[in-house]
Amino acid sequence: MNFSQHLPALIVVVPLFFAFLMPLLARWRKQWCVPVTLGAIIFSFLAALKMVFQVMSTGPFSYYMGDWPPPWGIELSIDYLAVFAALTVTGVGLLIIWYGSKDLLHELKSEVIGWYYTLYLLLIASMVGIVITNDIFNMFVFLEICAIASCGIISIKESRDCIEAAFKYLVLSVLGSGAFLLAAAMLYMVTGHLNFTFMAEALPEAMALYPNNLLVALGLLIVGLGVKAALFPLHVWLPDAHSSAPSPSSAVLSGLVIKVYAVAMIRLLYLVFPRELLGLAPVMDMILGMSTLAIIIGSMFAIVQDDIKKMLAYSSIAQIGYVFLGVGLMSESALVGGILHIFNHAMMKSMLFLAAGAFIYGTGARKLSELKGVGHTMPIPTIAFCIGAFAMVGIPITSGFISKWYLALGALDVGRPFFTAVILISSLLNGIYYLPIVVNAFFSKTEEVVPEPEKLPKQMLVPLALLSFGVILFGVYPSLILGIVYRAAQLLLGL
């Protein structure tokens, strides 16, 4: 028995298995909850790492669930994009829950913490499932798990804003899933397959017979996944949901969950739909328009916010715009930039949310104006916040610069300098709302005596330090991950 050949299944199933076990542990062996959760996610992370090396050396491979070959059974497809996204999800997810193991004691009632770990493991498993599955119905099932679990980690907090935000999020997510399922039905009707590869083979023929049907399906898919990924006009749920949730939840929702939907969209658009169909209607131009609006308007909304988490949430709307900008430009560099931004933004935004959580943990302050001089009392979170802010603005030697650079190059490659200008303007806007916080935190002294903030435990500081180290590391040595991102983009574009 060769254990490593089953990693594609185990990377999803091990977190699931321990999630099923978690309520029992929470009832009878409370002290095991944290180590078991961390262990399960570490396992998934190592499995993802192993698969990255495997894919880089021997190329993409697939795994047949239940030994049934593809059109009959469910296939997991382990390609460059899938392992890259799985590595991002498990790696950043691990750091967030490590941080959360202390922060949650502060934010949640003790009897629900076990449930939080359950939901968190299910969320991680479903996100990995979404990115590695090669079957549209299987993807739908994981989308639903992901939707309910992400609402669950919002509504778990004892505040009425959370409940209301979770309800709004749930209703819109379900609408999105409904649209996705309807699109899946339409695609199945004209292709007779649920597997992406077989669908892609059958679609050119179906396109000649039922072009409108496919266009409606494509529209439904974009709307369905767009609602979940908070693409601009469909983002209405995001600010409330991401700002009211407990800090680890905000970090995972903003950093990972919305990106996973973007990955799903990338796979469907590039690997399933034939290029000619995208030519029938200006789909890509629509996506570009939406993402441009997202970048500009999201940043503008972020400028006027006073609540630190709300500001970060609006900034996420702008940042998901970058990812979709990379998707819509259809050039190699732009796609590299978009995929890279999925990873970079996952690290930066989780770090920013965790740092904001640390401020709230230490001082209880949520307002930007209350954060004056926090750099002197809480140095490590503030430095992490600054690094994150610099990366958001796109200052060189941070990883945010690299992805913006590739996006800008990609826009020039296809002869659309307009989008390069958009990226520059948005960097300016990002600067307007991030840099004052940094300046305030270090250089302004408040007159009144500030109470000594609560001391942060190691479990919260180490993940922050690791994330800031990562942001710098991948800013200085982007070649560490550029190889796999390039191959992912080339595979998607069929180069």
Partner 1 sequence: MEDVIVRYVSRFILPFVQLYGLYVVLHGHLSPGGGFSGGAVIGASMILYALSFNLAAGSKKLSHDVSSILESSGALIFAGMGLISILLGANFLANRAAGFPLGTPGNLFSSGSIAIITFGVGIKVASTMITLFYSLIEEEDHSHDHH
Partner 2 sequence: MRKLLILFFLAVIMVVMVATVVEMPTIGDPANVTNNEVPRRYVEESLKETGALNVIASIITDYRAFDTLGEATVLFVAIAAALSNLKAH
Partner 3 sequence: MTITEIVLRLHANSYYFFAIILFIIGFHTMLTHNNLIKKVIGMNIMDMAIFLFFVAIGYVRGGRSPILEPGVNHTFINPLPSALILTGIVVAVSVTAYALSLIVKLYKHYGTIDAEEIMRIRGGGSL
Binding footprint of partner 2 on the chain (CB under 8 A): 13, 16, 19-20, 23, 65-66, 68, 71-74, 108-109, 111-112, 115-116, 118-119, 122, 125-126, 129, 137-138, 141-142, 144-145, 148-149, 151-152, 155-158, 163, 166, 186, 188-193, 202, 206, 210, 212-213, 216
Q: Find, among 181, 200, 202, 178, the residue nearest to 190 by Cα.
A: 202
281 binds partner 1 (CB under 8 A): no
202 binds partner 3 (CB under 8 A): no
| Residue the block writes with tokens 């520059």 | 424
191 binds, among partner 1, partner 3, partner 2, none (CB under 5 to 8 A by kind): partner 2
What's the min distance (Å) between Cβ of 66 and partner 2? 6
Give the residue ranges of DSSP H helices in 108-246. 113-132, 136-155, 160-191, 196-209, 211-229, 238-244
Give the DSSP letter string of 20-60. Answer: HHHHHHHHH-GGGHHHHHHHHHHHHHHHHHHHHHHHHHH--
Give the residue ranges of DSSP H helices in 304-447. 308-329, 332-363, 374-377, 379-393, 399-413, 417-443
First to last CA, the chain: 36
Binding mask 27-66 for partner 1 (x = CB under 8 A): x-----------------------------------xxxx
Nearer to partner 2, 170 or 378 (CB): 170
Nearer to partner 2, 163 or 435 (CB): 163
Nearer to partner 3, 141 or 472 (CB): 141
Nearer to partner 1, 64 or 442 (CB): 64
182 binds partner 1 (CB under 8 A): no
Q: In 372-407, which positions are buried (b, 16+ CB within 10 angstroms) versus exposed (e)? A: bbbbebbebbbbbbbbbbbbbbbbeebbbbbbbbbb
Give the pair of three-digit tokens for residue 434: 């991030």
Q: Write a three-state SS string for 258-298.
A: HHHHHHHHHHHHHHHCCHHHHHHCCHHHHHHHHHHHHHHHH
Nearer to partner 2, 113 or 354 (CB): 113
What's the min distance (Å) between Cβ of 13 and partner 1? 6
What's the min distance (Å) between Cβ of 65 and partner 1? 6
Binding mask 176-195 for partner 3 (x = CB under 8 A): -xx--xx--x--xx----x-
491 binds, among partner 3, partner 2, partner 1, none (CB under 5 to 8 A by kind): none
10 binds partner 1 (CB under 8 A): yes
CB atoms closer than 10 angstroms to residue 23: 14
Number of residues that bind partner 1 (CB under 8 A): 17
What's the min distance (Å) between Cβ of 250 and partner 3? 18
Ramachandran area for residue 230 (φ above 0: left; ψ -120 to 50: alpha; else beta): left
476 binds partner 3 (CB under 8 A): no
Residue 402, SS3?
Answer: helix
User: Footprint of partner 3 on residues 239-278 (CB under 8 A)?
Assistant: 240
262 binds, among partner 3, partner 1, partner 2, none (CB under 5 to 8 A by kind): none
9 binds partner 1 (CB under 8 A): yes
Nearer to partner 3, 17 or 137 (CB): 137
110 binds partner 1 (CB under 8 A): no
Gyration radius of the chain's alpha carbons? 22
337 binds partner 3 (CB under 8 A): no
Q: Find, among 339, 324, 441, the residue nearest to 390 by Cα.
A: 441
Cβ-contact 130, 258 below 8 angstroms: no
Nearer to partner 2, 68 or 418 (CB): 68
Options 9-17, 151-159, 411-419, 447-455: segment touching partner 1 (CB under 8 A): 9-17
Query: Residues 6 or more apart from 344 whose CB is under 8 A from it?
Result: 391, 399, 400, 402, 403, 471, 474
Q: From CA 264, how far away is CA 126, in angstroms rounded?
A: 12
Residue 133, SS3?
Answer: strand
210 binds, among partner 2, partner 3, partner 1, none (CB under 5 to 8 A by kind): partner 2
171 binds partner 3 (CB under 8 A): yes
21 binds, among partner 3, partner 1, partner 2, none (CB under 5 to 8 A by kind): partner 1
Options 10-18, 195-203, 243-251, 385-393: segment touching partner 1 (CB under 8 A): 10-18
Nearer to partner 1, 23 or 274 (CB): 23
Length of the chain: 495
CB atoms closer than 10 angstroms to residue 316: 28
Write phi, then psi, for 264 (nearest 5 degrees): -60, -40
Cβ-contact 15, 46 below 8 angstroms: no
Nearer to partner 3, 183 or 295 (CB): 183
What's the min distance (Å) between Cβ of 7 and partner 2? 15
**Which residues of the shown chain bind partner 3 in the complex (CB under 8 A)?**
137, 140-141, 144, 147-148, 151-152, 155, 160-161, 163-164, 166-168, 170-171, 174-175, 177-178, 181-182, 185, 188-189, 194, 236, 240
**Which residues of the shown chain bind partner 1 in the complex (CB under 8 A)?**
1, 6, 9-10, 13, 16-17, 20-21, 23-24, 27, 63-67
